[in-house]
Structure 1
Amino acid sequence: MAANKEDVKLLAMVESPFVGRVDIALNLKGIQYKYEVENLKNKSELLLKSNPVYKKVPVLVHNEKSISESLVILEYIDETWTQNPILPSDPYKRALARFWSKFIDDKVIDAARKALYSHDEKEREKGAEEIDEALHLLENELKDKFFGGEEIGIVDITAVIIAYWLPIIQEAFGEKLFTSDKFPKLYNWSQDFNNHPIVKEHLPPRETLMIYYKGHYERHIASK
């Protein structure tokens, strides 16, 4: 990674896809930083001080200034360190990238939570329909190797939850929301993204996530 005298910390949790976004962006930029794992059941004073509103990770602490919420952090990273840009320079394309990044958070993640975690069967079915529709829209939007063209951009980084986390979570829950048969373009994109040298190096071990989300599933079943 490039030399960097600045003080950069990422308050993190290995299992979080939102942390994964920031981790990938920092490494694509070649930024040196400290990865500080937080225990959300026993939050550090630094986390509570750095993110007093939501009290959750990720938080980027740059020269003692803290930034919260993964999409906000991604834009901050791109504006602060201009090498290897993850947002387009063209204002219209920039706006589109912001739109699809927000779409992933507002539509895909919300629908996945509903489909996987709801105790109401009709609500789960509704969530499955919503994520199916959302993924089809993304499938149609994907025109190149990556959403960012030939290079990884902010939409690809935002969608790491689809590329890497969702296949693991759906397996842990015994569901099939994202498959290569239904979404061939998205599936091929996910393989290219996950196998990108920098991305691959900074994704959490599959086994770690599987254990974590199987625990989620067991608690979900026990709470019915």
Structure 2
Amino acid sequence: MGDQEVKLLGVWASPFSKRVEIALKMKGVSYEYAEEDLSNKSPELLKYNPVHKKVPVLLHSGRPICESLVILEYIDETWKSGPSIFPEDPCARARARFLAKFMDEKCYPDIWKIGGSKGEEEREKAIEEATEHLVTLENELRGKKFFGGDEIGLVDITANTIALWLVVVLEMVGIKFLLKDKFPVIDEWINNYLDNSIVRETLPVRQDLLAYCRSVFQCSN
């Protein structure tokens, strides 16, 4: 199956889409990218992800794979070139899956709550909940450069929600120094992660994402 048969349906401001792009680039896979407008979803998106109608969707030889964590596993198993995304050790692999799920089910929703909160009390509660999750991640990272050790892997790719989206939301609500002041290990990980050339060229420009988030949350409030 040639790399030329790979297409990604995504959204530039979606951390889930960006996960897949990072993984494809890490593996050296050539792909076509199609930007989706989620307010006017394309027939292609509706055809290939009729259940959730969401991005990202990876098309490989015309076959769709949906949900970012599922796509990351597919990429790792399909293309052996480049670094492994999932750990080889079964115990480490299970731990990585657990943390990736933790990012999606706990961390990301609470990040979004901070931006979308109405009033000081609701925002403080959202920040408190997010902070509890950051304590877990701080302890997980302690003594390591990346979540998996010395190289970027599944949890790091999944945690781009922390590396950029959380940082942007905190800046938007006026507490951008929270991470540096309270979570120095996570702050150092962010610096190491964003220093990677593939990550740096793939994630959105911070100011563009900040403007996007302001427009989204202004509409929702």
Q: TM-score range by the shorter chain?
A: over 0.9
Q: 1:59 aligns with which of 50, 57, 60?
A: 57
Give, in angstroms, the shift of residue 178 of structure 1.
Answer: 4.4
CA distance in 1, matches of 2:78, 2:118: 43
Match of 2:170 in 1: 170
Give, in angstroms, the shift of residue 34 of structure 1.
Answer: 0.5
CA distance in 1, matches of 2:90, 2:49: 30
Give, in angstroms, the shift of residue 66 of structure 1.
Answer: 0.6
Give, in angstroms, the shift of residue 56 of structure 1.
Answer: 1.1
Letter in 2 for 1:9: K
Match of 2:46 in 1: 48
Tell me: CA distance 1:181–1:121, structure 2 relative to 1, closer, same or farther (3 Å).
Answer: closer
Match of 2:86 in 1: 87
Tell me: CA distance 1:115–1:98, structure 2 relative to 1, closer, same or farther (3 Å).
Answer: same
Is this contact kept in 2: 1:11–1:59, CA < 8 A?
yes
Relative to structure 2, which stretch is displaced further, 195-204 or 88-97? 195-204
Letter in 2 for 1:13: V
Match of 1:135 in 2: 134
Q: Any idea what the Cα deviations from partners look like across 1:106-148, whole Å, max 9, x if unmatched?
A: 1111222223213365443322111101001100001311112
- Within a 5 Å distance, the mapping from 1:194-209 to structure 2 comes to 194-209=194-209
Letter in 2 for 1:90: D
Q: Any idea what the Cα deviations from partners look like across 1:150-173, whole Å, max 9, x if unmatched?
A: 110000000011011211122123
CA distance in 2, matches of 1:210, 1:123: 21
- Within a 5 Å distance, the mapping from 1:1-224 to structure 2 comes to 4-83=2-81, 84-119=83-118, 121-142=120-141, 143-176=143-176, 178-220=178-220, 223=221
Tell me: CA distance 1:178–1:75, structure 2 relative to 1, closer, same or farther (3 Å).
Answer: farther
Tell me: CA distance 1:100–1:167, structure 2 relative to 1, closer, same or farther (3 Å).
Answer: same
Is this contact kept in 1: 2:115–2:172, CA < 8 A?
no
Letter in 2 for 1:52: P
Is this contact kept in 2: 1:12–1:37, CA < 8 A?
yes
CA distance in 2, matches of 1:108, 1:178: 15
Tell me: CA distance 1:97–1:109, structure 2 relative to 1, closer, same or farther (3 Å).
Answer: same
- Give the length in aligned residue pairs: 219
What SS does the aligned partner of 2:181 have? coil
Is this contact kept in 2: 1:173–1:217, CA < 8 A?
no
Q: Any idea what the Cα deviations from partners look like across 1:20-79, whole Å, max 9, x if unmatched?
A: 111111101110001110111111111000110111111111111111111111111111
In structure 1, the gaps of 5 or more residues are: none
In structure 2, the gaps of 5 or more residues are: none
Tell me: CA distance 1:51–1:45, structure 2 relative to 1, closer, same or farther (3 Å).
Answer: same
Letter in 2 for 1:67: I
